[in-house]
A and B are shown apart, each in its own frame.
Chain A
């Protein structure tokens, strides 16, 4: 179908964008990559009175910055840019591991990392990555900029704490400690589709190669990504001989998935267990390699 009519704004700077958004209030919606927004408009599931197109703000917002303790991704960095960024990959491999599961390359050429987070789809990968990396969101409005911790950002399906009049400027992912490995695994009906269940998992090793910490963030099994600390199940175990099925059982007990036409709640919970084992083994091997470097 065709999208409903809207008033189109194309600001030339972040300052102008937040000014426009302040004037529009509840009538304004930000258009970045549009890979979630435009389908919603085409299907007439939403009809915002005005769109504020930030695609001309590349000079200010199309960045992926890596420093000693974080990766900061600007609102106009496309998934493809985040995925290809070598410095970000070296510092935080999980970002590329997860981004490769975001739809298809053609969608990743246009969709943005920050847009995916702001859209807050419980089936999306990037919100879970932000959660696993204890991230923060930078939100700008006419009144100034505020930072929101990821723990306070996701409120429910497609609902974040971004207010009317605010523009998400960037997402900041904290880097894990040394000797940390990660993995992203998911199961979907067809490659590139939304996951029936997926997770990112990080494992940190001590100097003897034993697991000191393990955490996972799950998608498609709750209203927001679900963060589970798996440390109790595997702490002190050798990286190549840990009881990941125990970690899977622990996680399966922490999620409360819904049933839909794609999968039953029981099947999703089953996937949480199985995929935790798979991701745990992969992340441990990855951590052991990181420890060797």
Chain B
């Protein structure tokens, strides 16, 4: 017996998508399986680890704690949407590379989306603010120091870009 499905329209990274999913389809799974964007990683699946964080109408949310059907009609930005306009590394990704902000990379998409939204609202954060901003994301490799450095470096890159 197959479950009833719902038509869901989502704008993901600026591109409109229409998918047919059961009501219980988590947004994280919808993005990975139905939309085909595997940049969103699924870690704990109960809202603790932060790996699945995406931006919903610009604000960071846990995609594993949302049903796709609930956000029908809304805009989602994933890790893939944090690239630069030319398709290369975006400013936050570049900062992570420069500062060794990742090792295995599993948690990185959640950090990149969270930090992208954070720096949009606070272009010149203190280290303390940077730490608070990433407080909801877990990383088992780096010990966080390099991620904090990455936040501050990304802010620098963004400010330099704004001047150019």
Interface residues in chain A, defined as those with a beta carbon under 8 Å from any beta carbon in chain B: 1-8, 10, 31, 34-35, 38-39, 41-43, 51, 53, 55, 80, 103-107, 109-110, 191-192
Is B156 close to A, CB under 8 A? no
Q: How far is the CB of A82 from chain B (nearest CB, A)?
A: 15
Q: How far is the CB of B69 from chain A (nearest CB, A)?
A: 6
Is B62 close to A, CB under 8 A? yes
Residues of B within 8 A of A107 (CB): 47, 62, 136
Please give 7 more A-B residue pairs, beta carbons under 8 A apart, in addition to A6-B24, A107-B47. A2-B26, A34-B70, A35-B62, A42-B64, A55-B70, A109-B56, A192-B136
Is B46 close to A, CB under 8 A? yes
Q: Which A-chain residue is minimally distant from B46 (CB atoms)?
A: A39
Chain A contact residues, majority secondary structure: loop
Is B43 close to A, CB under 8 A? no
B72-126: which have CB < 8 Å to A? Answer: 114
Establish whether residues A34 and B114, one from each chain, have CB atoms under 8 Å apart when the complex forms.
Answer: no
Top 10 A-B pairs, shortest CB-CB distance: A104-B136, A8-B23, A39-B46, A38-B65, A106-B60, A109-B59, A3-B24, A106-B136, A110-B61, A191-B135
Establish whether residues B136 and A34, one from each chain, have CB atoms under 8 Å apart when the complex forms.
Answer: no
Q: Kindly count the residue-residue contacts between A and B in the assembled complex, taking CB atoms under 8 Å apart.
A: 82
Is B158 close to A, CB under 8 A? no
Highest count of chain A CB atoms <10 Å: which of B3, B53, B64, B67: B67
Residues of B within 8 A of A34 (CB): 65-67, 70
Interface residues in chain B, defined as those with a beta carbon under 8 Å from any beta carbon in chain A: 3, 6, 22-24, 26, 29, 45-47, 50, 53, 56, 59-62, 64-67, 69-70, 114, 133, 135-136
Residues of B within 8 A of A35 (CB): 47, 62, 65
Residues of A within 8 A of B23 (CB): 5-8, 51
- Among A2, A38, A53, A192, which residue has its beta carbon within 8 angstroms of that of B135? A192
Establish whether residues A39 and B65, one from each chain, have CB atoms under 8 Å apart when the complex forms.
Answer: yes
Establish whether residues A110 and B46, one from each chain, have CB atoms under 8 Å apart when the complex forms.
Answer: no
Known: A39-B65, A109-B59. Is A5-B47 also a contact (CB below 8 A)? no
Q: How far is the CB of A227 from chain B (nearest CB, A)?
A: 29
Residues of A within 8 A of B60 (CB): 105-106, 109
- Among B24, B61, B67, which residue has its beta carbon within 8 angstroms of that of A109? B61
Residues of B within 8 A of A103 (CB): 136
Establish whether residues B70 and A3, one from each chain, have CB atoms under 8 Å apart when the complex forms.
Answer: no
- Among B3, B133, B135, which residue has its beta carbon within 8 angstroms of that of A5? B3
Q: Which B-chain residue is minimally distant from A7 (CB atoms)?
A: B23
CA distance A109 to B65 in the complex (A): 12
